[in-house]
Amino acid sequence: MTLTAPSTYKALTEQEAIRLAQSLDVFASSATLQCEEIGDGNLNYVFRITDSATGHGLIIKQALPYAKVVGESWPLTLHRATIEANALKLHGSLAKGRVPEVYATDAALAVTVMEDLSQLTILRNGLIDGKHYPKLAEHIGSYLAHTLFHTSDFGLHPFEKKRLAAEFSNPELCKITEDLIFTDPFFDHDTNDFEEPLREAAQAIWDNEPLKFEVAKLKRSFLTEAEALLHGDLHTGSIFVDEDDTKVIDPEFAFYGPIGFDIGLFLANLIVQAITRSGEERELIVQDITQTWQVFEQQFSGLWESDGIETYKTTTGYREYAIEKIFHDAIGFAGCELIRRTIGLAHVRDLDDIADESTRIDRKRQTLKAGETLIQTRREYQSIKQLETAIKELSK
């Protein structure tokens, strides 16, 4: 599929997105195409182009030269569109069926044309509506194991790994994470955003030196440990689902970082759900957390045995050591994500849309408490069952 696009950047209108779609040999020349801008994220335009007669469609995603969530005062590299398209292709080849198909790209226009997933639901929206997805944990655990193992030194020749690490150098998007997840929420910074009743809890975080010492270590890990090609922003808004299918989208934050980061972000967003639910509905989410880790651990270990290229792979204790490090890192990163989604710049609807103020503030206090606890006690957990017990306690 070839894209006939202008060679210089221009933010597309809906009509221009239709003309771009017509230049692809996908739709009949007689087709009447409709276009809707459906982007609900913080950074990009997402156009859905549909053939009115057949209902068939595709997505044209375009990066804007600034962060939409803040406005033109926050310029942002267009190269993230190329990073995203290449990460989708690579991760899609490693985790079959878990990533939308990329049909075409244009670097100058910062555009990716891809599979329309509108038959599926954004996971965050489905969870907020009280739904549960029986295949989610199996699919995401497997996606994580395959994408992370096969791009790491455990499964990839060091020349290819270092070539990929250079290709996926993504400093501007990493800086957003370094600031918004690892720095600003832990200081009285003007990007922070929280309701006044939470000021005391926020101040307690800013005053907690032992907590900040642990966050500094986690930030250093994010800055320096080029372990695998991460998705980089694996929250529940980056996943499409239904009862049978799961697709991971939006890897524009992809870069070589610590393996536990993707796992931690996903688990944190499920923990937010556990906190907002009760009874059996909460239990289902807690079981998803446990199962995601179990599937990841089992499949990562299996790949270590079957496809591992590290000479030390059979050295007694090394696999267990590597997996324990990933586990503890993931718990710490989950803690940082919980705190930033509560008092940082980019919130989540799971918490903000709780209509009753007193309930909303209580849930947010719980999220902060869970974040602090996970960061500070992360090395104490020896098994996923121990973590499960702690999450149940923190969600009550």
To Mg ion, the closest distance from the beta carbon of 235 in angstroms equals 8
For Mg ion, the binding residues in 39-78 under the rule CB under 5 A are 41
The binder of ligand SR1 chosen from 5, 99, 117, 176 (CB under 6 A): 176
Our finding on whether 87 is near ligand SR1 (CB under 6 A) is: no
Measured at the CA of 363, the angle between CA 383 and CA 182, to 5 degrees, comes to: 65
Our finding on whether 377 is near ligand SR1 (CB under 6 A) is: no
Residue of 343, 29, 7 whose CA lies nearest to 191: 343
Our finding on whether 125 is near ligand SR1 (CB under 6 A) is: no
Please work out the total of residues on this chain that contact ligand SR1, with binding judged by CB under 6 A. 10
What are the structure tokens assigned to 391, written together?
């999450």
> Taking contact as CB under 6 A, which single stretch among the options 10-18, 25-33, 38-46, 292-300 is the one that binds ligand SR1?
38-46
Our finding on whether 180 is near ligand SR1 (CB under 6 A) is: yes
Q: Which amino acid is at 18?
A: I
Q: Which does 117 bind (CB under 5 to 8 A by kind): Mg ion, ligand SR1, none?
A: none
* 190/48 Cα distance (integer angstroms): 35
Are the CB atoms for 109 and 6 separated by under 8 Å?
yes
Are the CB atoms for 275 and 338 separated by under 8 Å?
no
Q: Which does 12 bind (CB under 5 to 8 A by kind): Mg ion, ligand SR1, none?
A: none
Give the residue at shortest CB distance from Mg ion: 250
The binder of Mg ion chosen from 84, 106, 184, 250 (CB under 5 A): 250
> Taking contact as CB under 5 A, which single stretch among the options 167-175, 250-258, 270-278, 341-349 is the one that binds Mg ion?
250-258
**Pairing of the two strands 57-63 and 71-75:** unpaired
Our finding on whether 84 is near Mg ion (CB under 5 A) is: no
What mask of x and - would describe binding to ligand SR1 in positions 302 to 341, judged by CB under 6 A?
----------------------------------------
Residue of 253, 193, 185 whose CA lies nearest to 222: 253
The binder of ligand SR1 chosen from 64, 120, 226, 346 (CB under 6 A): 346
Q: Which residues are annotated as a binding site for ATP?
A: 44, 61, 115-117, 250-252
What are the structure tokens assigned to 27, written together?
């739709």
Judged by DSSP in three states, 194 sits in coil
Helices marked H in the chain: 14-22, 80-94, 123-128, 136-150, 158-167, 171-180, 199-206, 209-224, 260-276, 279-307, 318-343, 349-352, 357-377, 384-395
Residues contributing to the site for ligand SR1 (CB under 6 A): 41-43, 67, 69, 176-177, 180, 233, 346
